[in-house]
Amino acid sequence: MSWHRISALAKRIITQFRRDRRTVALILVVPIVILSLVGYLIDLKPSDTAVGIVNEDVAATSVAGLIVDTLEDVGDLKLIDLSREEVEGQLRDGRIKAALMFPSDFTQNLVTANGPTATLLLEGSDAQVAGHVRGTITTAIQQTLASIPGMEGRLIDVQPSFIYGGPDYSTLDYLGPAFVVLIPWFFVFLLTSISFVRERVQGTVERLLASPLSRIDIVLGYMLGFGIFSLIQSLEMLLFTVYVLNVNCEGSIFVAILIVVIMIMTAVNLGILLSTFARNEFQAVQFVPLVVFSQGLLGGLFWSLDSLPWSLRWLSYLMPVTYANLAVKDVMIKGAGILDWSVGSNLLILTAFAAAFIVLSSLTLKREVA
Amino acid sequence: MMDIAATTVVETRRLSRHFGRIRAVDEVNLQVRAGETYGLLGPNGCGKTTLIRLLVGLLRPTTGEAIVLAKTVPNKDILSQVGYMTQAEAIYQDLTVLENLRFFGSIYGVDSTSRFHEVLGLVELAERANSVVATLSGGMRRRVSLACAMLHNPMLLFLDEPTVGVDPELRVSFWDHFRRLNEQGVTIVVSSHVMDEAEHCHRLGLMRNGRILAEGSASELRQRTGTSTLEEAYLALARGINELA
């Protein structure tokens, strides 16, 4: 062992890093960006969640009205007055995330302490939002009762019921769709960008471009090759998630696979696109934080889009993973089909992303020539 | 065959390509005739590879033009008639020799196993057909690369330093093979920085700093400069340019 030789090795590594400014920047900047995002997101509560209020209470001094006043004072929820008939439709459309309903005899029942009172109907596809709405409403009710003489210490039994999901759903049921989307995205992006960088490094791209193959042939060939592998991967993942981990899948597994495969087409082309900016495999890996972590945090996978402030949310809408996640969630949790607007529209946007990236990546192949 | 020999396969007119301030190829005028081997000779960095990439159509000229097989390049239509052996090996390391041939063959519509073995015989790799490329020596890999470039019987072959890392004995057989291709009417543009290889070429373009210093056969160039070796001829020509400047 020789200190001299060991330090020579270490010095060489430091010199190499100093040459590669981008790596140094990445090592120092990316963790801070990610930590601040996580630190910010972790405390984030859903804001402005739309909640329908059905107040049929006929009492002269309505306790229901007082509760609604308190909720309004808290200001966390966006309250919308509805009739009982409108509730279910609005919940299914996603226009409201929950509905709080007071029957006509609400105050009277409260005074006589008789039977069930208010009902809370939750949309339920997002555990975080559901929990937040329940918590806010329970607190508001307690506060209101505490302020009415003679009612202190009274309890109101608010029975929650769920349109989707519900008490049987575990955390895994809610997170399952997120992983079904994020894992193939990660692998396919990484594999394509690395194998394309390899084509560039070993010079085979040059040979392909000097052949009768057109640029679009190359892109489509890559998509087909990786598409087959991603099909196998997403099939395996979905079957494992649903049948081994017993994650609920209300809708068709095949629709979920279709969504993932279209997302993969975007990932393949993004890989080709970004490989232009990497001189070696090492640099290609450095795009992972940018392309994978960022979408994992902001794509609505773990924090619902509704809870993101607009200063971040616009970024989410630029990310293909966001749309794949929304669609897969709707299929797995809500049981939506491909013809449902929520799935169909997101699938269309995803397809548009894939098409745009196909064009962009074939353009970079052209630029490679220069 | 006679009229083919008279035609010009490659012609450039004041062809230039700049990279920023660097003039990698600078006002090059050259003509390559059908069935000849044209050698681009010059030190590393003199613009040989850039010139070849311009002729293949992988780069656009900054100014001037190049006409290859009667088409102004870049042009996709000529590519099925062109073979290009790059300076890098440009073959897939994790495939076998035969798998590489099959892949590049299928791009050109070549799908005959006998053709694959014929080409492998030419580069003396018949026994290694099923070896994974990564396990081959550097010289063998260059031979696979050459095999891939000639697979589809192109009319025009661009070879960028084909003999680097190839041992002397095989080098001789390479040049024999190139001559046979010439006899079949195939035109070859080959670059090299090894002066003694140039004797094998019908005509030479001596390159320096992106320009063609002089053109002619090896013996013509020696005569013109009154030197006995091509190396001396090159140095004499380079000095002449410097004095003019």
Please give the Cα distance from B117 to B147 (Å, whole number). Answer: 10
- pLDDT band for position A115 (50/70/90)? low
Look at residue A367 and tell me whether its pLDDT is greater than 90.
Answer: no
Most confident of A164-168, B165-169, B207-211, B230-234: B207-211
Please indicate whether residue B48 or residue A301 has the higher confidence score (pLDDT): B48
Q: Do B107 and A213 touch (CB under 8 A)?
A: yes
Please indicate if any CB of chain B lies within 8 Å of the CB of A280.
no
Provide the pLDDT for residue B243: 61
**CB contact residues (below 8 A), chain A span 164-203, against chain B:** 202-203
Backbone angles phi, psi at A154, to 5 degrees: -70, 150
Look at residue B1 and tell me whether its pLDDT is greater than 60.
Answer: no
Look at residue B5 and tell me whether its pLDDT is greater than 50.
Answer: no
Rounded to a whole number of angstroms, the distance from the CA of B224 to the nearest CA of chain A is 37
- pLDDT band for position A369 (50/70/90)? very low
Q: Do A211 and B104 touch (CB under 8 A)?
A: yes
Give the ipTM: 0.88
Q: How do residues A205-219 score in pLDDT, each as one tens digit?
A: 889 989 988 888 888
Please indicate if any CB of chain B lies within 8 Å of the CB of A206.
yes
Please give the Cα distance from A147 to B3 (Å, whole number). Answer: 108
Nearest CB to B86; choose among A207, A214, A369: A207
Token pair 């900047």 in the structure block, residue: A29
Contact call for residues A138 and A98 (beta carbons, < 8 A): no
pTM for this predicted structure: 0.80
Look at residue A255 and tell me whether its pLDDT is greater than 60.
Answer: yes
Q: B49, B54, B58: which to substitute to probe chain A, counting the most A Cβ within 10 Å?
A: B58
Rounded to a whole number of angstroms, the distance from the CA of B100 to the nearest CA of chain A is 11
Residues forming beta bridges with residue A249, ordered by sequence position: none
When pLDDT is averaged across residues B132-160 and rounded to a whole number, the result is 92
Nearest CB to B89; choose among A203, A211, A213: A203
Provide the pLDDT for residue B108: 92
Look at residue A368 and tell me whether its pLDDT is greater than 60.
Answer: no
Q: How do residues A56-91 score in pLDDT, each as one tens digit?
A: 888 777 888 888 888 888 877 888 888 888 888 888
When pLDDT is averaged across residues A286-309 and rounded to a whole number, the result is 83
When pLDDT is averaged across residues B9-16 and rounded to a whole number, the result is 94
Chain B residue at shortest CA distance from A367: B59
> HEC profile for chain A?
CCHHHHHHHHHHHHHHHHHCHHHHHHHHHHHHHHHHHHHHHHCCCCCCEEEEEEECCCCCCCHHHHHHHHHHHHCCEEEEECCHHHHHHHHHHCCCCEEEEECCCHHHHHHHCCCCCCEEEECCCCHHHHHHHHHHHHHHHHHHHHHCCCCCCCCCCCEEEECCCCCCCCHHHHHHHHHHHHHHHHHHHHHHHHHHHHHHHHCHHHHHHCCCCCHHHHHHHHHHHHHHHHHHHHHHHHHHHHHHCCCCCCCCHHHHHHHHHHHHHHHHHHHHHHHCCCCCHHHHHCHHHHHHHHHHHHCCCCCCHHHCCHHHHHHHCCCHHHHHHHHHHHHHCCCCCCCCHHHHHHHHHHHHHHHHHHHHHHHHHHHHCC
Q: How do residues B55-79 score in pLDDT, each as one tens digit?
A: 999 999 999 999 999 999 888 889 9
Provide the pLDDT for residue B6: 59
Please indicate whether residue A365 or residue A80 has the higher confidence score (pLDDT): A80
Nearest CB to A210; choose among B58, B60, B88: B58
Q: What is the mean pLDDT of chain B?
A: 88
Look at residue A351 and tell me whether its pLDDT is greater than 60.
Answer: yes
Nearest CB to B86; choose among A203, A369, A370: A203
SS3 B101: helix
When pLDDT is averaged across residues A306-321 and rounded to a whole number, the result is 86
Q: B60, B81, B107: which to substitute to probe chain A, counting the most A Cβ within 10 Å?
A: B107
Contact call for residues A232 and A261 (beta carbons, < 8 A): no
